[in-house]
Structure 1
Amino acid sequence: MQLDLNLLAALDALLEEGSVAGAAARLHVTAPAMSRSLGRIRRTTGDQILVRTGRTMTPTPYAIAVREQVHTLLHQVTGVLAPSRELDLATLERTFTLRWHDSLVALGGPALLAAVRAQAPGVRLRFVPESSVDTPGLARGEVDLEANAGGTEAPDIRAERVGESRPVVVAARDHPLAGLREMTVERYAAADHVTVSRRGRLGNLLDDALAGLGLTRRVVATAPTEAAAFGFARGSDLLVTVPEATTRSAAADLGLAVLPLPLALELPSAPVYLSWHQRYDTDRAHAWLRELARTALSACR
């Protein structure tokens, strides 16, 4: 039987996207053309691959079983038929989408952009905000590189720990606690607080640590970004607890004080991860960008 390698690419796209329309968009073909490819795949395999369930398409058990094998085979075939060439940064034209935590954009974004402009002037960077819900942007190819505090257990996502930062307290410079030689955990808990959460969560690991000491704090607001939380703290009596690395420029620019967390609160340092999809493991341009990102985020080490 003569095999059409185009069907392998179509099958991979169908299994990744879970729909004819999504697969067609990924491969830049029309929906009718992708429907015909799905029909050929069904005849070749003797399996329906995707079946309609209400308004969505659901993969069959066979499709689920071969999904990783199909992706691996396509990656191998692509490597054989289109071997990578030396990377010419001077002529490289490409747009990378980066979904980074807002504080990491402020911390490492300027250095990364400067390095990219100096080495590859034809490359553009799209920094996009984190979503309030987890989305498979890396798997779908919508995001090239993520940087945040969350690792992953997904087998197709690479997550490299590139740094960490201990928690500190940010407050207005005239805050009563800013003038103390040492802030006690009781004074810390008695103050009013703002938390940073893109999901709007009012509590976090810090509240668990306080509870272990028989204490609670009053969180009066949650902010989606650290910049917004710092704005709340400026000119008020509110405290914000965040990783130290993310305060180095913003706190100074806003005239805020950075204070050590009370010694009684033993909290682990916040990790910083770079994450990408395994499809880019051997992509020379992507590897170049990853190395620049590691350097740009070196302040977290």
Structure 2
Amino acid sequence: MRPLPDMNLLPALDALLRAGSVAGAAAEMCVSPSAMSRTLARLRRVAGDELLVPSGRGLALTPRARELQPQVQAALAGALAALRPPEPAELSAVERDFVLRANDATAAFLGPELIARAAREAPGIRLRLLPEGDEDPADLRGRIDLDVGQLPELPHDVRGETLAHYGYRAVTRADGPYAGERLTPERFAALPQITVTRRGRTWSVVDERLAVLGLTREVPATAPTYGAACFFVLRSDALALVPGLFAAEAARVMPLAVLDIPLDLPTVAFGQAWHVRWDADPAHHWLRSTVAGIVRELGDGSGTATGAATP
């Protein structure tokens, strides 16, 4: 393959062909006439043609130069278009599928508002929410467009953004025997509790905090999702420990009471992650900004929360 010529010659050639003179091209390119004359000499060697030849007191374009003129203009316009930053997205005209990965709590409190905003602002965007599992952040290189929730350690080519820090609440059936109680650590430890885990583990930071107080709790069952845990407590006298924002959403549509957990539990960092190739993509930027905006609106400082860690 022949080596490419110096592409910096292209704007100079365009100016020379349009101006039809060295002085005119030099003025347009803001260089001296002698510098433009040297550039013309280089262009003649590259093109294998004189391009501009003496004609009376001026210069005239050769037939080859006239033939090249529309090609040069098109090449220069194409190069400028390729290097120009993307135009702001006309979201109403965007047709895209975005694949998001989130746990069921995040999908429950974030999904409805995200879907509603997409319908209003970008009706051609279709959202595909996938459940969390034994996922790998490397999935963001191809299969997943956006991870939302508690983020693991990310590889070098994946961006991560923390949006908020959240905590957990306890839910119980609204007509249960302690639905209106203000729980103490002793009372909390004495009540049966449903925890959420994909692997059936029952020991967590809750048990660590109780052990410091000399207390233990009973976990008669675990649930694979936060939604399942809420259904479990509707038919029992147990508590379910769920993300705070999910607790509020669940209590809005189910007969549940929301109780504070009387322990000093750590909060969970909640964020989103995406591959670096989407950094400057306008539609993906809309998606990330919309998710961040919804989380900010929900995070009112009350300490209610979401995340993927299981208490």
Determine if the alignment matches structure 1 residue 169 to structure 2 residue 170.
Answer: yes
Residues 169, 240 of structure 1: 8 Å contact kept: yes
Aligned partner letter, 1:136: P
Give the Cα–Cα distance (whole angstroms) in 2 for the partners of residues 271 and 160 of structure 1: 10
Distance 1:215 1:243 in 2: 23
Query: What SS class does the counterpart of residue 92 from structure 2 fall into?
Result: coil
Question: Within 5 A, what are the aligned runs for 1:217-232?
Answer: 217-232=217-232
Instruction: Tell me the percent identity.
Output: 40
Please tell me whether the aligned partners of residues 150 and 272 of structure 1 are also in contact (alpha carbons under 8 angstroms): yes
AA of the residue aligned to 1:211: A
Matched, 1:107 2:105: no
- 1:104/1:297 contact within 8 Å kept: no
Structure 2 matches for 1:135-174, cutoff 5 A? 135-136=136-137, 138-174=139-175
- Residue 293 of structure 1 is matched in structure 2 by 291
Query: Which structure 2 residues correspond to residues 34-113 of structure 1 after superposition, within 5 A?
Result: 83-113=85-115
- Residues 236 and 199 of structure 1: CA distance in aligned 2, closer, same or farther (over 3 Å): same
Kindly indicate whether the alpha-carbon contact (under 8 Å) linking 1:243 and 1:270 is maintained by their aligned counterparts in 2.
Answer: no
Distance change in 2, residues 1:151/1:250 (3 Å): same
Amino acid at match of 1:293: V
| 1-structure distance, mates of 2:140, 2:184 | 45
For 1:291, give the aligned amino acid.
S
Do the aligned partners of residues 194 and 86 (structure 1) sit closer, same or farther apart at CA in structure 2, a change above 3 Å counting?
same
Q: How far apart are 1:228 and its partner, in Å?
A: 0.3
Residues 122, 213 of structure 1: CA spacing in aligned structure 2 closer, same or farther, 3 A cutoff?
Answer: same
Query: Structure 1 residues 249, 300: CA separation in 2 closer, same or farther (over 3 Å shift)?
Result: same
Query: Within 2, Cα distance between the matches of 1:2 and 1:135?
Result: 44
Give the drift of 1:250.
Answer: 0.9
1:2 is displaced (CA, Å) by 7.3
SS at match of 2:93: coil
Contact 1:139/1:156, CA 8 A, preserved across alignment: no
Runs of 5+ unmatched residues, structure 1: 4-78
In structure 1, the partner of 2:273 is 275
Q: Which amino acid aligns with 1:89?
A: L
Q: TM-score, normalised by structure 1?
A: 0.68
SS in 2 for 1:200: coil
TM-superposed CA distance for 1:81, in Å, is: 6.0
Q: Deviation string for 1:113-155 (max 9, x for gaps)? A: 1111111211111011111x13235433111111112343432
One-letter amino acid of the counterpart of residue 175, structure 1: G
SS of 1:217's equivalent in the other structure is: coil
Call closer, same or farther: CA 1:276–1:286 in 2, change over 3 Å.
same
Query: Could you tell me whether the CA contact under 8 Å between 2:137 and 2:152 is conserved in 1?
Result: no
Tell me the number of residue pairs that the alignment of Structure 1 and Structure 2 aligns: 223
* Unaligned segments of structure 2, at least 5 residues: 4-80, 301-311
2:128 is paired with a residue whose SS is strand
TM-score normalised by length of structure 2: 0.66
1:135/1:200 Cα in 2 relative to 1: closer, same or farther (>3 Å)? farther
**Which digits, 9 at most, give the CA deviation of each residue in 1:170-218, with x for residues without a partner?**
11123333233x2111111111111112333222211111122221111
Match of 1:193 in 2: 193
* Distance in 2, Cα, partners of 1:2 & 1:193: 73
Provide the aligned C-alpha RMSD in A. 2.3
